[in-house]
């Protein structure tokens, strides 16, 4: 743990730490308790310090959906609904965790007895119903779900180590190194405003007993100091791309779809939770198709219109919004998926949003099938780990040198924050989606760019979003003007939870035109 340079705090503040001055309700919206309060205060007693560091910060539950690699078609609707119920249950349990700090301070068994045990019972019931959904259509009950009901409480230290202090961000399917970006190559030993980013718990001071439990506009469920790093102090970590072979597809196709200036938002996710309002539990920007919500269908997509200049591109491109946590409230402060679930602050519109399809270094590409769904990254890395993380954070002027997965960059004055995504570019040739929304697509081999297991190369969707964000500052362990992506409340707004969603919808033979352009080595729009 880094050296403590902070001033002594008042007895009132110390008492507030011990009591974990919980939660305030402001205008009907939830202001979240700061779980990291005084985890590194040396002026308080050793026991108080240890208790604060050991306090349960979030809830870790096995991701049931990722285990379901195959679901019978006529059971899919019910199973999707049950999976969404599991997310709702975790959110409710997290709200209970945040609102019961005083009870937790008084009873060491409170979290287990009052939150985790009831949650296990509820999850067991849902998993049981999923099994019934299988057997009703003549399929075997999915035994791989056995033992996935129980959840655990994760401390501030554990949460930071899991999602912010790892250096193993290799992707699924053998890892990837797309667009010259090194996934997970963090420099965890960098100093950041006096904070040592080495997996230790980042701390923010506890609120006073009379104040709401957020500081400088920050949500109590993150981000925290160790989630940020001065990019000028990170060693270069970008690796080269695979060498292009003789049969490489060298062209590009760029589609211009805007930056969501018309504020097309919702907290649904039609891919993961179709038919479920607020299935994402966080807000998305939408560009491209303009009629995407939980109840959209393939037919709806064809009638949805588009923000893209090429009106044959009806594809949906959507990603979690970025917010600046400066005390400003946005329109959803008191709504589900917004402030009620810990997603607080002013929503930032990207300065630019580049959407480009690129080729394979090893082969020609086949056209994307109509209605193909792809999710890249993992919104639940705080509980799942970094196996499927695909977040890339950087700053203009540094993109060819440094890419971050587990931390947000603090950019120099005049430099913009950059989020980039490189989607899976190998397709199984048959399915437009899969039960866990992953197994129908894959990344190519990172060294050769070759698709394995009979998969076919498709145009690789890449996205680059830039934002004007004043550099956050860290003073006395508190991040001022923090920024973060929206996320599930228990995911603590970690940088690694960044993700991107895509549904391919084209008309007038555009899918084939994109493939032909890329295979022909042209740069098209």
Nearest by Cα to 495 from 183, 189, 287, 204: 183
pLDDT tens digit string along 484-496?
Answer: 999 999 999 999 9
Residue 57 has a pLDDT of: 87
Is the predicted pLDDT of residue 278 greater than 70, yes or no?
yes
Q: Is the pLDDT of residue 476 over 70?
A: yes
Q: Is residue 2 part of a domain?
A: no
**Does position 27 have pLDDT exceeding 50, yes or no?**
no
**C-alpha distances in angstroms, 147 versus 61, 63, 89?**
11, 12, 17
Sheet strands (E) in 62-216: 152-155, 191-192, 195-196
Q: What is the pLDDT of residues 337-387, one digit of tens each?
A: 999 999 999 999 999 999 999 999 999 999 999 999 999 999 999 989 999
Check whether 240 has a pLDDT greater than 70: yes
Q: Cα(524)–Cα(514) distance, rounded to whole angstroms?
A: 8
Which whole number is the average pLDDT over 51-72? 83
Is the residue at 311 inside a domain?
yes
In a domain, 1, yes or no: no
Structure confidence at residue 155 (pLDDT): 80
Distances (CA, A) of 47 to 17, 43, 52: 12, 11, 9
Residue 372 domain-assigned?
A: yes
Q: By residue range, what is the domain housing residue 359? A: 11-524
Q: Is residue 472 a contact partner of residue 410, using CB atoms and an 8 Å limit?
A: yes
User: Is residue 4 assigned to a domain?
Assistant: no
Residue pLDDT, tens place only, 254-277: 999 999 999 999 999 999 999 999
pLDDT range class, residue 404, cuts 50, 70, 90: very high
20 vs 156, more confident? 156
How many other CB atoms are there within 10 angstroms of residue 146's CB atom? 10
- Residues near 160 by Cβ (< 8 Å), separated by ≥ 6? 199, 200, 201, 202, 224, 226
How far are the Cα atoms of 17, 23, 42, 43, 148 from residue 9, in angstroms, in the given order?
A: 11, 21, 10, 7, 43
Burial class of 374 by CB neighbour count within 10 A (0 to 12, 13 to 18, 19+): buried
Residue 5 lies in a domain: no
Q: What is the pLDDT of residue 442?
A: 98
Q: How many domains does the chain have?
A: 1
pLDDT at residue 163, as a whole number:
52
pLDDT digits (tens, 9 = 90+) for 30-51: 333 344 432 333 333 333 333 4
Per DSSP, the residues of 11-22 read HHHHHHHHHT--
Share of the chain above pLDDT 70, in %: 78
**pLDDT for the residue 175:** 38
Q: Which H or E element spans position 123?
A: helix 117-136
pLDDT score of 6 more than 90? no
* 159 located within any domain: yes
Quick check: 8 pLDDT over 70?
no
* DSSP element (H, E) containing 254: strand 252-255
Say how far apart CA 459 and CA 461 lie, in whole Å: 6
**Taking residues 129-144, what's their average pLDDT?**
96
Sequence length of the chain is: 525
Q: Would you place residue 473 in the very low, low, confident or very high pLDDT band (cuts 50, 70, 90)?
A: very high
23 or 263, which is more confident? Answer: 263
Mind giving me the DSSP string for 52-95? Answer: HHHSEEEEE---HHHH-----GGGHHHHHHHHHHHHHHHHHHHH
Confidence tier at 206 by pLDDT (50, 70, 90): very low
Does 401 fall in a domain?
A: yes
Q: Has residue 222 got a pLDDT over 60?
A: yes
* pLDDT of 176 strictly over 80: no
């Amino acid at each position: 743990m880094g050296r403590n340079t902070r001033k002594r705090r008042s007895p009132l503040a110390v008492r507030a730490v011990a009591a974990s001055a919980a939660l305030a309700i402001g205008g009907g919206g939830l202001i979240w308790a700061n779980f990291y309060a005084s985890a590194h205060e040396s002026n308080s007693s050793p026991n108080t310090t240890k208790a604060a560091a050991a306090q349960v910060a979030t809830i870790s539950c096995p991701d049931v959906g990722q285990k379901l690699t195959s679901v019978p078609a006529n059971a899919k609707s019910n199973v999707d609904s049950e999976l969404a119920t599991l997310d709702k249950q975790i959110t409710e349990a997290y709200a209970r965790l945040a609102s019961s700090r005083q009870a937790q301070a008084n009873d060491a068994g409170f979290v287990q007895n009052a939150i985790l045990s009831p949650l296990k019972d509820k999850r067991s019931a849902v998993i049981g119903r999923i099994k019934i959904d299988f057997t009703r259509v003549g399929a075997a009950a999915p035994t791989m779900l056995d033992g996935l009901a129980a959840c655990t409480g994760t401390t501030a230290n554990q949460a930071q180590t899991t999602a912010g202090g790892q250096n193993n961000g290799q992707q699924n399917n053998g890892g990837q190194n797309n667009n010259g970006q090194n996934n997970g190559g963090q420099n965890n030993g960098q100093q950041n405003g006096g904070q040592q980013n080495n997996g230790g718990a980042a701390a923010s001071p506890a609120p006073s007993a009379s104040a709401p439990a957020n500081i400088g506009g920050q949500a109590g469920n993150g981000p925290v100091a160790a989630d940020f790093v001065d990019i000028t102090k990170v060693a270069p970590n970008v690796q080269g791309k695979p060498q292009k072979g003789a049969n490489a597809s060298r062209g590009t196709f760029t589609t211009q779809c805007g930056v969501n200036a018309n504020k097309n938002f919702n907290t649904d996710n039609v891919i993961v939770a179709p038919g479920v309002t607020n299935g994402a539990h966080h807000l998305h920007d939408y560009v491209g198709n303009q009629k995407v919500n939980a109840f959209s269908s393939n037919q709806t997509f064809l009638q949805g219109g588009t923000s893209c200049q090429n009106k044959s591109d009806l594809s949906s491109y959507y990603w979690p919004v970025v917010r600046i946590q400066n005390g400003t409230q946005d329109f959803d402060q008191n709504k589900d998926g917004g402030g009620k679930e810990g997603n607080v602050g002013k929503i930032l519109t990207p300065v630019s949003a580049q959407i480009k399809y690129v080729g394979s270094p090893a082969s020609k590409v086949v056209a994307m099938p109509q209605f193909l769904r792809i999710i890249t990254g993992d919104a639940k890395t705080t509980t799942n780990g970094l196996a499927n993380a695909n977040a890339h954070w950087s700053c203009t002027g540094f993109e060819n040198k440094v890419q971050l997965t587990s931390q947000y960059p603090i950019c120099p004055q005049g430099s913009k924050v950059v989020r980039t995504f490189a989607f899976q570019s190998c397709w199984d040739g048959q399915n437009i989606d899969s039960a866990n929304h992953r197994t129908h697509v894959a990344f190519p081999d990172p060294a050769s760019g070759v698709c394995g297991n009979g998969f076919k190369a498709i145009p690789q969707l890449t996205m680059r979003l830039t934002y004007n964000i004043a550099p956050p500052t860290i003073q006395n362990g508190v991040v001022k003007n923090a920024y973060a992506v929206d996320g599930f409340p228990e995911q603590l707004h970690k940088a690694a939870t960044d993700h991107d969603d895509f549904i391919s919808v084209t008309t007038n033979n555009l899918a084939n035109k994109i493939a032909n352009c890329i295979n022909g080595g042209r740069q098209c729009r």
